[in-house]
Amino acid sequence: MKNYTILYAEDDLKLANQVIDLLELLDFKVFYAKDGLSALEIIKEEKIDILLLDISMPRLDGLKLLEQIRQNDNKTPAIMITALSDSPTLLNAVELNICKYLIKPFDRLKLELALDKAIKQSNNLIKVSNNVYLNMLTNELLVNNELKKLSKKEFLLLEILLKSSPNIVDFYTICEYVYNDYNVSSDAIKSLVKNLRKKINYKGIIHNANARGYYIKTT
């Protein structure tokens, strides 16, 4: 099993020591920061798999820290730690792509459940191309750190293309997998491909195979 790295930012040293002991017991490699600015310095130097950030910290609070992180990275799962008094602020920050939040005081079980969710989110990001990822849990595309929701049919089409890559997916298979209907017009499939290409926003990823079907080139 992969040894995940986690950035843990918390200014309460007593709590931090307890959580670090648990994280290490769970085989995480822990990078600890006592404030937001120190956390930013760690991110510049280390590859981080999961973010565990307290909201109320000196120098740079957890939400402002995550805002800065999200300018360049919208895919690393983030678990926020909040006091009950500032939880409404957290709930309004959905655009920061928060994976889970914990309200103090939290127990070991709640932390482990949050970590499990973060690991699943991390593992379910499938690379489509440079700067393009598909989240298999949320049916969302991550394009240049911008989240784009896919329709059910768009998701299924991209899924079957990725599963089959670099092989051609013929029209019959697309009809069966995406529509569960063999009497779908070619115009409907072309329209679906056009919409998906528009959301991916990159040329040269989904290719037409001389009227036989489509295939995808991943990089």
Please name each of the domains of the chain with its CATH number: 5-123 (3.40.50.2300), 126-216 (1.10.10.10)
Give the list of residues 6+ apart from residue 53 with CB closer than 8 angstroms, or none. 7, 8, 9, 36, 39, 62, 65, 66, 78, 79, 80, 81
Reading the block at residue 182, the tokens are 């063999």
- Confidence class for position 1, pLDDT limits 50, 70, 90: very low
pLDDT digits (tens, 9 = 90+) for 9-67: 999 999 999 999 999 999 999 999 999 999 999 999 999 999 999 998 999 999 999 99
Residue that is written with structure tokens 């986690």 in the block: 6
pLDDT for residue 180 is more than 60: yes
3-state helix, strand, coil in the chain (%, to 5): 45, 25, 35
pLDDT digits (tens, 9 = 90+) for 77-112: 999 998 876 667 776 676 788 889 898 889 999 999
What's the confidence (pLDDT) of residue 126? Answer: 87
* 70 or 92, which is more confident: 70
Using a cut of 0.85, tell me whether the model's pTM lies above it.
no
Reading the block at residue 179, the tokens are 């529509």
Do 90 and 63 contact (CB within 8 A), yes or no? yes
What's the confidence (pLDDT) of residue 219? Answer: 62
Q: Which of 86, 116, 83 is nearest to 15 (CA)?
A: 83
Over pLDDT 90: what percentage of the chain? 63
- Phi/psi of residue 146, nearest 5 degrees: -110, 130
- The pLDDT of 187-204, averaged and rounded, is 92
The DSSP 8-state label assigned to residue 194 in this structure reads: H
The DSSP 8-state label assigned to residue 210 in this structure reads: T
Reading the block at residue 129, the tokens are 């191309």
